[in-house]
Amino acid sequence: MKIPVFHVDAFSATAFAGNPAAVCLPPEPVSEQWMQAFAAEMALSETAFLTPEKDGYRLRWFTPRVEVQLCGHATLASAFVLWQTGREASDRDIHFYTLSGLLTAHRLHDWIELNFPACPLVTAQAPAGLLESLGVSDPVLISRDDNIYVVELGSEAEVQACQPDFARLAQVNLRSVGITAAGQPPAYDIVSRYFAPSVGVNEDPVTGSIHCRLAPYWAQKLGKNNLVARQASPRGGTLRLRLAQDRVFLAGQAVTVTSGLVEI
């Protein structure tokens, strides 16, 4: 069986920026073991696997180490590939059936808007070793959603200057952590970075799922439901966020870098 594979840079309008994802379109289901092995071989933060289901697609996401419940940039990349290759009509929303429920993608000219669940944060204490591994001594606020933490810092400069000790951070009792601060309007309202060494991703270039947490957090703090977000990783990326009750609409752009076939 030959499987089409696409390498896409998501949350960017140009190649070699944003967050790279692999998108695999097997014509029939493949084993979970093969998907995990292929994701490890690709060595990207996420590899997406799409198979037809109902009126859309079953969508699964794998890091080089584990399957995850929610991934924004690989969902954006998946929708982009389906529209770009003509597998889906440009005027039709795409339905994805995932571990996080039904997700949809809507085309807005050269942007793609994803409909994701909002994940409100609650104030929390820092797990042992977290602040030390980040090199942060004076956080504004620490919050969490389940085992994903968010640390607000005092300025964008602090976010950009952060140099985590990834080996130490991987030993902290959490899945991942985002750091964030207010941005510089009108260019962007908020800025962030995201680290997940325990699942094989030291720093994720641009992360849709953490913005499901940052959108309600900053919407309340800034008093606005429409936000422009900048993820300040070395590659960098921009997202448009819209909070609507219990949903976050994340919009971004994407570009295909390369494509080919893999045999199984």
| Every domain of the chain and the residues it spans | 2-116+251-263, 122-244
Q: Is 122-244 in the same CATH topology as 2-116+251-263? A: yes
Task: Inform me whether the pLDDT recorded for 71 exceeds 90.
Answer: yes
Catalytic residues: 46
Task: Inform me whether the pLDDT recorded for 220 exceeds 90.
Answer: yes
What pLDDT score was predicted for residue 184? Answer: 86
pTM over 0.75, yes/no: yes
Q: Topology of 122-244 in CATH?
A: Diaminopimelate Epimerase; Chain A, domain 1 (3.10.310)
CATH homologous superfamily of domain 2-116+251-263? Diaminopimelate Epimerase; Chain A, domain 1 (3.10.310.10)
Strands (E), the chain: 2-10, 19-24, 46-53, 56-62, 67-68, 94-98, 101-108, 111-117, 122-123, 141-145, 148-152, 176-184, 188-196, 201-203, 226-231, 237-244, 247-252, 254-263
What pLDDT score was predicted for residue 164? Answer: 98
What pLDDT score was predicted for residue 109? Answer: 87
How does pLDDT run across 76-100, given as a tens digit for each residue?
999 999 999 999 998 899 999 999 9
What pLDDT score was predicted for residue 244? Answer: 97
How does pLDDT run across 5-64, given as a tens digit for each residue?
999 999 999 999 999 999 999 999 999 999 999 999 999 999 999 999 999 999 999 999
